[in-house]
Amino acid sequence: MSIKLKGSSDGSVSFDAPADTSPSGSDITLVLPTTVGSAEQFLKNSGTAGTLEFSSMVETSTGVGIGTSSPSAKLHANSGSTDVVADFESGDANAWIQIRDNSTTDTAVMVGAVGDDMRLRAGSNERVRIDSSGNVGIGTTSPGSFNSDGRNLVVGTGSGGQGMSIYSGNSSYGTIYFADGTSGDALYQGAVLYNHSSHFMRLDTAGAERMRIDSSGKVGIGTASPASKIHLSGGAENVLIQTTNSTGDAFFGIRNGSYGLLGTGDAYIYTNDGDVALIADGASDVIKFAAGGNSERMRIDSSGNVGIGTSSPTQKLDVRGSVYVGTSIGINTTSPSSKLHALNPSGGADTTEVSTIERDNSGYFIKLYRNAGSGNVGGLIGADSVGTYFTGGHNTTNNRIYIDSVNDKMLFSTNNSERMRIDSSGRLLIGTTTEGNASADQLTVADSGDCGITIRSGTGSRGALYFSDATSGSGEFDGYIIYEQNNKVMRFATDATERMRIDSSGNLLLGTTSATGGTSSGDFVVEFTGNSANAIKTRDTDNTGTVNHMVFVSGSALVGSISGTTGAASFNNLSDYRRKENDVEIADGIQKIKLLRPIRFNYISDPNTVCDGFFAHEVTPAVPTAVTGAKDAVDSEGEIDPQMLDTSKLVPLLTAALQEAIAKIETLETKVAALEAQ
């Protein structure tokens, strides 16, 4: 029979009825849908053999809608109840999605997978990497090489200035929380907070504020209103100095006459054995402190200078030797509540400085020695006209923390280079002094080379990156990327539901958690509900000619493709004469056609649909290359391992048989014409 296509004036194409309206068993029947689709809707192959139906893809003046009849953008996909919306796959070890506008440089903005790593590129360079262990690197491509306590997120390039930003509103907080639970105080056991309204920084432990740096750079420990550069406060002991006597009674006495270090007219406080004494030397107008064999250990001279280890103090406090404080020190308070508790002299909340530490000739305020005997400087505390710094070693720029009180920022440096800063907006910048995009610059990690953040979890545990808009319920994990160390699986979720995973074998699974669902397995598995969405969609946005939507390659040779034009799709097999040899004409087409047994049947799984076709094993004698599998085969579970039939491979045989029939018909026509001419 023939199939007739009929065109209309509006540009559409329809099927016209064949000349033979009573098809025989050898005729081909084309079954069309009985219902009409909506405007601009496409006609596609149905899941039922031999029929067509209208697809869920709609094209309007606004754009193309998949799963929606009212697209709101150039491409609007609605997966409905189906988990997988779209899938992107590469044929090699690299898979990238490129995002660009009319001014974006080629390959400038890309999201991709390389091996088991996930990578994000911007400005033609990789910026973020999630490696196969779940470590996240921003500015580095080797987050897994960093310290085991800090690989979960590694930020920085390893060269130049680096940094991370926390970007909050100008009247809000920027916060880093340290949690050991998911509810109550466990959500914020430790915290570093910056208040942009009052420009102060808080440090919390055990869920409570412990220290504050206000907008003028004053530090409060135990108080939220520091009145000086360092202000320690509290209801219990802040600074405690304590001595005990476990061998005998202690005495307090005033005595005239000569005794040990005493001269006539001196006053003293002494212990029972006289080895410890406080002596008021009236002749010299000094106070002496004796201990250990009645030997002087400290004195206050007539000028008010205090000498420890020297009898000739030259400063208000002159110590010759080491100093150790065991418990607490109280300055202007008799009840220190911390290691160092200093109150302003008036005892009120005024701005009088609690204490002043003058720089020595070298310009340092305080020197910290790691080995006092050797004179090796372990650290420095100093200040300049802008702020205060804390350094490791004797160099003021090497390995230091700098608090810039003028510009309200903190700088962290190592090896004479800034590595991290907290700017005046509370943004944390690692490896850079410039924050990232305004929509995501609370933490910015950069490097001139590779850059990244590491997430390292324990063996058998998970490393995760959560995207949250709530502090409880599913809002805490609306979106997430999780790597499970116990089974080596990476999971991706949206709306608190897993959408995609890569299993330990590298299989990409969409809409399923197993590569072995159904009767077979695969490296790329898509499971979906067919009545709600398309499994895979490709689209030629140029829409100007024939393009390949999918190609099939065996080894390095192209063996087939699925191509499309502006109006049709083609399923193509390799047929180039340059790839063929030993070609002979089919001389027994009719004989082989006679071996075929066309039948009408229904599939067991679909008893209500009648189909026309063949049994695969009955086609084997005529066209063995059209059949895949063996008759009556079963799999390892004893289930049917079905044969498959490629009916397109019957076309050459049908063509040969038709040519033979035409030749016979033409011969008969010649003979009939000759007979009629007699």
Tens of pLDDT, residue by residue over 258-269, are: 554 455 555 666
pLDDT of residue 275: 61
pLDDT tens by residue, 8-17: 445 455 555 5
pLDDT of residue 377: 65
pLDDT tens by residue, 616-670: 999 999 999 989 999 999 988 888 888 999 888 899 999 988 999 999 999 999 9
**pTM for this structure?**
0.42
How many CB atoms sit inside 10 A of residue 119's CB? 22
Mapped onto helix, strand or coil, the DSSP state of residue 602 is strand
Domain boundaries of the chain, sorted by first residue: 94-159+452-526, 547-579, 589-657
pLDDT of residue 205: 92
Residue 26 pLDDT > 50: no
pLDDT of residue 379: 76
What average pLDDT score do residues 114-143 get? Answer: 88
Q: Which is more confident, 22 or 150?
A: 150
Token representation of residue 374:
């050797």
pLDDT of residue 17: 52
Q: Which residues contact 218 (CB under 8 A, 6 or more apart)?
A: 226, 227, 228, 229, 230, 231
Q: List C-alpha distances in Å: 180 to 151, 153, 173, 175, 497.
A: 18, 18, 21, 16, 24
Q: Could you tell me if 217 and 232 are in contact, meaning their C-beta atoms sit under 8 angstroms apart?
A: no
pLDDT of residue 103: 80
pLDDT more than 70, % of the chain: 77
C-alpha 602/C-alpha 500 separation (Å) is 36
Q: Which residues contact 648 (CB under 8 A, 6 or more apart)?
A: 571, 573
Provide the CB-side half-sphere exposure for 660 (13 A, CA): 15
C-alpha 579/C-alpha 644 separation (Å) is 25
Strands 219-221 and 230-232, sheet pairing: parallel
What average pLDDT score do residues 117-125 get? Answer: 85
Q: Which is more confident, 270 or 19?
A: 270
Token representation of residue 592:
């082989």
**Predicted confidence band at 190 (pLDDT cuts at 50, 70, 90)?**
very high
Q: Which residues contact 543 (CB under 8 A, 6 or more apart)?
A: 566
Provide the CB-side half-sphere exposure for 369 (13 A, CA): 10
pLDDT of residue 351: 44
Q: Which residues contact 2 (CB under 8 A, 6 or more apart)?
A: 18, 19
Token representation of residue 306:
């205090």
**Predicted confidence band at 586 (pLDDT cuts at 50, 70, 90)?**
confident
Burial 185-202 (b: 16+ CB within 10 A, else e): eebbbebbbbbbeeebbb
**Predicted confidence band at 323 (pLDDT cuts at 50, 70, 90)?**
low
